[in-house]
Chains A and B, each alone.
Chain A
């Protein structure tokens, strides 16, 4: 079992729709959760971070965390073609005095005009 699992996609949604990206993780001691967006040939850029159960909203983006189910998701409302990218889920914990960060392999999102 991978430590952080994401469906590789591609996930195709029409412009204006809601895109739902999912991520599960295996380490129950995980403390911090991040979503990064990565355009082809570019480096990952942070979209959202979430630390406690529930929803966190930032503009068109909503991150949802359920630690009991070891599940974190990202919703993108009113999807735009510019949202087409690979979305990486990252999970972090403090392990032996250092931060252990594990990334999923990413979900490719395609927003169709």
Chain B
């Protein structure tokens, strides 16, 4: 079974631009979560989608948004980029059958650099 895939793997943007990152979960997984990882803050939860619905959101500004499609693929968007948005963005998928806490499997991440 193929793992979680994320595209692109690397991005370089300038302040004020916007960016869209994509995540394809493991086949059959319906839950997709996004995290931001920086050296100082560790893994910070952004949001979680299940069946095209955002069910949980972390403490990030509204510039960070996401969506999930009917095939469970997910995208996240960051508008008006700031230098502090430079980070590794990780997507994780889980089966989440019946709402029971389940293992999250991570994709390789997208390394975003904002200049």
Interface residues of chain A, those whose CB is within 8 Å of chain B, are: 31-32, 34, 36, 42-46, 49, 88, 90, 92-94, 97-106
Residue from the list A31, A34, A42, A106 in contact with B103, Cβ < 8 A? A34
Q: Are A94 and B90 in contact (CB under 8 A)?
A: no
Q: Are A99 and B101 in contact (CB under 8 A)?
A: yes
- Say yes or no: A43-B109 contact (C-beta < 8 A), given A98-B56, A101-B45: yes
The prevalent SS among residues of A at the interface is strand
Residue from the list A32, A42, A88, A103 in contact with B101, Cβ < 8 A? A32
Instruction: Please report the C-alpha to C-alpha distance between residue A90 and residue B105 in the assembled complex, in whole angstroms.
Output: 12
The prevalent SS among residues of B at the interface is strand
Q: Are A99 and B96 in contact (CB under 8 A)?
A: yes
Number of B residues whose C-beta is below 8 Å from A? 26
Q: Are B90 and A43 in contact (CB under 8 A)?
A: yes
- Say yes or no: A45-B106 contact (C-beta < 8 A), given A105-B42, A106-B42: yes
Q: Are B108 and A42 in contact (CB under 8 A)?
A: yes
**Which residues of chain B are within 8 angstroms of A102 by Cβ–Cβ distance?**
45
Answer yes or no: B63 CB below 8 A from chain A CBs.
no
List 8 interface pairs A-B (beta carbons < 8 Å), by A numbering.
A44-B90, A44-B106, A49-B103, A97-B55, A99-B96, A101-B101, A103-B42, A105-B43
Interface residues of B in 32-54 (CB under 8 A from A): 33, 35, 41-43, 45, 48, 50
Instruction: Please report the C-alpha to C-alpha distance between residue A99 and residue B56 in the assembled complex, in whole angstroms.
Output: 9
